[in-house]
Structure 1
Amino acid sequence: MNAASEMLETYQVLMSTLVTEKSTFHRTAPLNKFTFRVPVAATKTQIRKAVEDAFGVKVMGVATQRYKELAARYRFHKGFTAEWKKAIVTIHKEQTLPV
């Protein structure tokens, strides 16, 4: 664990919800998974605590995917896309989130 991840507060962990066809399908009753965009430095434990504190639900599991920066170019300007992290949070089957 690095110093940047230790400094994250609960309100800083959940940046936004991700709404895609796949994440909407996962919200259905049998799967009960919700997708969030989180900081790259956030750990699974911090994500679990943030969701439980923010929404008052029991988190059953957290899966993360890290998207690294990619080379990007617009005409003569070269640069990189921003790296980011996606968290897929599974909550208890009898609960739901107001997202």
Structure 2
Amino acid sequence: MKDYRDVIIRPVVTEQSVAAMDDLRKYTFEVPKQTNKVEVRQAVENLFGVKVEKVNIVNTKDKPKRYGRHTSTIHGFKKAIVTLKPGYQIDIYGEEE
């Protein structure tokens, strides 16, 4: 059995994902390429003690990046967008209230 901490690599914090956290109860996490929706649901529920309503998974593409005349590739990753049931929230930043 996998450890739940191996399923969630890190939270994805962008302007769009932070707006979804505040308004829509959607949290975005980077996950390993071989992870499925069931594993993500179990990991979030066990690590954060919340109830998950829905999980969506998106594979991001590789993107070319230029450094002057040299080019390289920013590798894509898999991200999971987790929607929580009403009344639940996750403290991504570790702030105590």
Shorter-normalised TM range:
0.7 to 0.9
Aligned length: 92
Q: Which runs of 5 or more structure 1 residues have no equivalent in the other structure?
A: 1-6
1:33 Cα offset (Å): 0.6
Post-superposition offset of 1:92: 1.1
1:14 alignment partner AA: I
Q: From 2, 23, 27, give the equivalent of 2:17.
A: 23
Question: For residue 13 of structure 1, what is the aligned residue in structure 2?
Answer: 7
Segments of structure 2 that go 5 or more residues without pairing to the other structure are 93-97
Q: Deviations over 1:38-86 (max 9, x none)?
A: 1111100000000001001000000111013345565786654323111
Task: Tell me: CA distance 1:26–1:78, structure 2 relative to 1, closer, same or farther (3 Å).
Answer: closer
**CA separation in 1, counterparts of 2:20 and 2:82?**
10
Do structure 1's residue 49 and structure 2's residue 42 form an aligned pair? Answer: yes
CA displacement, residues 8-55 of structure 1 (integer Å, 9 cap, x when unaligned): 4311110001111111111124x1011111111110000000000100
> Aligned partners of 1:22, 1:69: CA distance in 2, in Å?
20
TM-score by length of 1: 0.79
With structure 2 as the length reference, what TM-score do the two structures score? Answer: 0.80
Confirm whether residue 68 of structure 1 aligns to residue 64 of structure 2: no
Q: Secondary structure at the match of 2:22?
A: coil
Give yes or no for contact 1:63–1:87 (8 Å, CA) kept in 2. yes
Question: How far apart are the structure 1 equivalents of 2:20 and 2:69?
Answer: 41
